[in-house]
Amino acid sequence: MSDFIVIPEKKTGPDKQFPLFGELVHHEHEQIVFCSRPEVGLKAIIAIHSTTLGPALGGVRMWNYKSEKEAITDVLRLSRGMTYKAAISGLNLGGGKAVIIGDPHTDKTEPMFRAFGRFIDGLAGRYLTAEDVGMTEREMEWIYSETKYVTGIPKAMGGSGDPSPVTAYGVYMGMKAAAQKAWGSDSLEGKRIGIQGAGSVATYLARHLRNENVKLYVTDIFDQKARTLARETGAEVVGPDEIYTLNLDILSPCALGGVVNDDTIGHLSCDIIAGGANNILDDEKKHGNMLRNRGILFAPDYVINAGGIINIASEMEGYNEKLAMEKASRIYDTTLRIFEFADEHDIPTIEASNRLAEERINAIGKVSNIYSSKSHFSYRKGEMYMRNRS
């Protein structure tokens, strides 16, 4: 008998072999898709967090990420936030998100976005995309040329157009709810409010606040954008770092996430944080508790910036702008309910919001286990009844 050598299998944990899968398990994602088309400059990532309540909906953002790891981390956090956003808003949608790695000011081309549309179409409705940071209606139209699974297309094409006005209105409603909780009145007149960012959502929000005669401060990493917004609204322009140290009643982050972190939290001098950015807290548990201990009321971002997804959901049902705004106004009551739940259970507001969202996901998830789809039977031996959700 021939001799042979058995090479023992190296014992390594799954996270060491596949760190990406470890991240998926940690964030409880269903699927992540990498999309590459070098000839048109496309490097994109689509993350589907949950489809328990319905197809995963979430915008595509284009950003010049410093690394692929940073892009993956961002898309995983954002897609998870979309699941909770849809759930807490009472929508029959799941959570997803996409990012395209590139400079939104110089790298956009029609072939790039049409290729991205093809990848979305290949997911057959598991993921529905929309407009997000770095995107405009033009790119949504290009994507729409290749797939029907896109929302936020121009109104002239039957869509809802730019979701920023409804998003900003929801943030405004959430901000007023926070004022009601903190001061016993939802009037913002005379309050010192700082807006971080001068993009579309920040612009529409600033217009609402101007009408309440607040003392407004704005900042942006692109100084000219901040100055343009300041000229329109009568705001005072401050530096990007200065916004963290101003003596404010309300800080409203409306740019990128992670701005309440270990470096900034000790400098904050405000009573309320209520903004349109996603994932404002760099670490939900840690920084949520730190804000609570400091007596700073946090209006969970995915709750008050849900106007965008509410707007898109309305588009899917046959767009009605008046109805979308009416639904966004309900963010006021949802935010107050979260504050009450947080007080009742002596927990941070972000934890209260997460629990309420998870309660709905779990409850509907149990119903979803009941088979109710259309069936067909082909009379071929060995075939089973198949679902047809078309």
To 5 degrees, how large is the angle CA 265–CA 188–CA 291? 20
Q: Is 28 left (phi over 0), alpha (psi -120 to 50) or beta?
A: left
Count Cβ neighbours within 10 Å for each residue of 131-159 and write b for 16 or more, e otherwise.
bbbbbebebbbbbbebbebbbbbbeeeeb
Set 43, 97, 176, 191: catalytic member: 97
This model's pTM is above 0.85: no
Per-residue pLDDT, 25: 67
Domains and CATH numbers, the chain: 28-153 (3.40.50.10860), 164-361 (3.40.50.720)
Per-residue pLDDT, 310: 92
| Residue 184, both tokens | 């016993």
Per-residue pLDDT, 4: 44
SS3 269: strand
Per-residue pLDDT, 367: 80
Where the chain has pLDDT below 50, the residues are 1-15, 18, 373, 375-390
**DSSP label at residue 242:** G
Is residue 97 part of the annotated active site? The answer reads yes
Pairing state between β 94-101 and 42-50: antiparallel
Per-residue pLDDT, 187: 98
Per-residue pLDDT, 263: 96
In 3D space, the residue among 168, 140, 196 whose CA is nearest the CA of residue 308 turns out to be: 168
Question: Which residues does residue 63 pair with via DSSP β-bridges, in sequence order?
Answer: 101
Per-residue pLDDT, 369: 66
Long-range contacts of 202-206 (CB under 8 A, 24+ apart): 202/168, 202/229, 202/252, 202/254, 202/255, 202/276, 203/164, 203/168, 203/229, 203/232, 204/164, 204/165, 204/167, 204/168, 204/169, 205/168, 205/171, 205/172, 205/252, 205/254, 205/276, 206/232, 206/233, 206/235
Q: How far is it, in rounded angstroms, from Cα 297 to Cα 223?
A: 29
Per-residue pLDDT, 77: 92
Q: How far is it, in rounded angstroms, from Cα 307 to Cα 313?
A: 10
| Residue 222, both tokens | 């692109």
